[in-house]
Amino acid sequence: MSGIELHTERLILREWRDADLQPFSALNADSEVMRFMPRQLSREESDDRARRIRDHFKQHGFGLWAVEVRDGQPFVGFVGLSVPRFETDFTPCVEVGWRLARSAWGNGYATEAAKRAVTFGFNELGLTEVVSYTVPENLRSRRVMERLGMTHDPSEKFDHPLLEEGHPLRRHVLYRLSRSSSDGSILESAATDGTAKGTP
Ligand SMILES: CC(C)(COP(=O)(O)OP(=O)(O)OC[C@H]1O[C@@H](n2cnc3c(N)ncnc32)[C@H](O)[C@@H]1OP(=O)(O)O)[C@@H](O)C(=O)NCCC(=O)NCCS
């Protein structure tokens, strides 16, 4: 089930390589990238996160792809689909998520890659819904969700089950995109801007 590679106009969403671990640890140590995460990661913690991402691909056949800029940086971060490890009202579910190096922000890469990943989820995996969540203050991430056409019901705020009571990042907002309510642009983009290699 591994080996799925997705293409967009400017990006390749690909399998992780060992060479990604160093630039991944650099972005995980960047205070601005990690501003809305519980903490910056050490090299060991970053490697462990990458190991869990790779395990997720083995288990599910999809995951948080390493993002490469065509004719550019070989690794700028991850974008993709993951199954949350916790249980709450809206689980089980598939989340679309992203984390890019600061140098790659402001180019539309997260949205471009996420559209491709969501299209893959709807078309190839047969998902009927994709969710995304973050802390209310993470406006950059919320803008990506909104550019994907995701919607947020204010009544669906939730406390992240993996963060202890009183943690300043515990409160989250939930966004959803259902295959049937998507305006079609996401599905259309599959036919125009992407190819998938590999067999899910
Ligand atoms: C969340 C995150 C991925 C968003 O990155 P981003 O670069 O702002 O998002 P996009 O890739 O959609 O790019 C959109 C920006 O690129 C600009 N842009 C420039 N060229 C563009 C193009 N060709 N196409 C589209 N947008 C373009 C847009 O104007 C927009 O900027 P703005 O929001 O200031 O108006 C990034 O901030 C990040 O990695 N944050 C840290 C990790 C994190 O918080 N992850 C989420 C946890 S829930």
What's the rounded mean pLDDT across residues 30-35? Answer: 98
Q: Is the pLDDT of residue 190 over 90?
A: no
What local confidence, expressed as pLDDT, does residue 191 receive?
A: 42
What local confidence, expressed as pLDDT, does residue 3 receive?
A: 82
Q: Cα separation of 61 and 196, whole Å?
A: 13
What local confidence, expressed as pLDDT, does residue 199 receive?
A: 45
**Is 109 near ligand 1, meaning CB less than 6 Å away?**
yes
**Is 40 near ligand 1, meaning CB less than 6 Å away?**
no
Q: Cα separation of 145 and 142, whole Å?
A: 5
**Nearest residue CA, atom 45 of ligand 1?**
99
What local confidence, expressed as pLDDT, does residue 8 receive?
A: 98
Residue-wise pLDDT tens digits, 131-183: 999 999 999 999 999 999 999 999 888 999 899 989 899 999 999 999 987 75
**Nearest residue CA, atom 41 of ligand 1?**
33
Of the pLDDT bands very low, low, confident and very high (cuts 50, 70, 90), residue 193 is very low
**Nearest residue CA, atom 6 of ligand 1?**
105
Q: Is the pLDDT of residue 122 over 70?
A: yes
- Residue 186 or 159, more confident: 159
**Is 158 near ligand 1, meaning CB less than 6 Å away?**
no
**Is 138 near ligand 1, meaning CB less than 6 Å away?**
yes
Residue-wise pLDDT tens digits, 57-108: 999 999 999 999 999 999 999 999 999 999 999 999 999 999 999 999 999 9
Of the pLDDT bands very low, low, confident and very high (cuts 50, 70, 90), residue 111 is very high
Distances (CA, A) of 47 to 12, 36, 109, 127, 173: 21, 20, 23, 29, 28
- Residue 138 or 190, more confident: 138
- Name the pairing type of β-strands 95-100 and 77-82: antiparallel
- Centre of ligand 1 from the C-alpha of residue 18, in Å: 26
Mutate to test the pocket of ligand 1, among 24, 76, 105 (most ligand atoms within 8 A of CB): 105
**Is 91 near ligand 1, meaning CB less than 6 Å away?**
no
- Centre of ligand 1 from the C-alpha of residue 165, in Å: 30
Q: Cα separation of 164 and 159, whole Å?
A: 9
**Is 99 near ligand 1, meaning CB less than 6 Å away?**
yes
What local confidence, expressed as pLDDT, does residue 192 receive?
A: 43
Q: Residue 46's closest CA among 20, 66, 76? A: 20
- Centre of ligand 1 from the C-alpha of residue 53, in Å: 22
Q: Is the pLDDT of residue 189 over 50?
A: yes
pTM for the model: 0.94
Of the pLDDT bands very low, low, confident and very high (cuts 50, 70, 90), residue 1 is very low
